[in-house]
Amino acid sequence: MKRPTFFPAVAAILFAILMLTPLSANAQFERGEKSIGPKIGYVDKNTSASAGLVFHYSFSSHLRVAPEIGCVFKHRNMDAFTIDFNFHTPFTFTGEKAALYPLAGLNYSSWNRTLPRELFDADDDITTRSSRFGLNLGAGFELRCSKTLKCGIEAKYTLIKSYSGAYVAAMVCYIF
């Protein structure tokens, strides 16, 4: 089955917006700012939904660390547990209410493949687990709804041996 080709188009649009964003814009992020919230999305590796929890911590106005934990729901006999440790470099515009950020980071994924029992002379399904490290590359956009709430979308590509794929997600975070 052919993979969807939406990721290169999304990456090209986000890159074009990033290049048009003035670098002299004031940053909205203050040092020490933290936020946490749920994240839901789509994974193209097994054409399934994903869910997780993301935390953001701003080291400065232009550098933020974003660890997250998540799961990819079972579809096509595959599911996964993921841990990401990403870095964001946010650029603000439109009165500092919106920000665009490129991201790069590390990924740990544990993928499970379930082989149906019809393929074997066994009473139970056979599951194999592959745990691997990889790299994340992508971009995101966020909008501040209030002083304590922000919403965002993120697209990234995770490079992992035999399990590379695109992730698109939406998040709502509480700022504290």
Q: Which domains does the chain have, with CATH numbers?
A: 6-10+32-175 (2.40.160.20)
Compute how many other C-beta atoms are within 10 angstroms of the C-beta atom of residue 76: 12
- The rounded distance, in Å, linking the Cα atoms of 95 and 98 is 8
Average pLDDT over the chain reads 85
In this structure, are residues 67 and 55 in contact, taking their beta carbons and an 8 Å threshold?
yes
Per residue in 99-149, pLDDT (tens digit) is: 999 999 999 999 999 887 666 666 666 788 999 999 999 999 999 998 899
pLDDT digits (tens, 9 = 90+) for 67-83: 999 999 999 889 999 99
Tokens standing for 58? 């701003």
**How open is the CA angle 20-26-29, to the nearest 5 degrees?**
110
- Answer whether 0.75 is exceeded by the pTM: yes
Yes or no: say if 145 and 161 are a contact pair by the CB < 8 Å rule.
no
Burial 95-110, CB ≥16 within 10 A → b, else e: eeebbbbbbebebebe
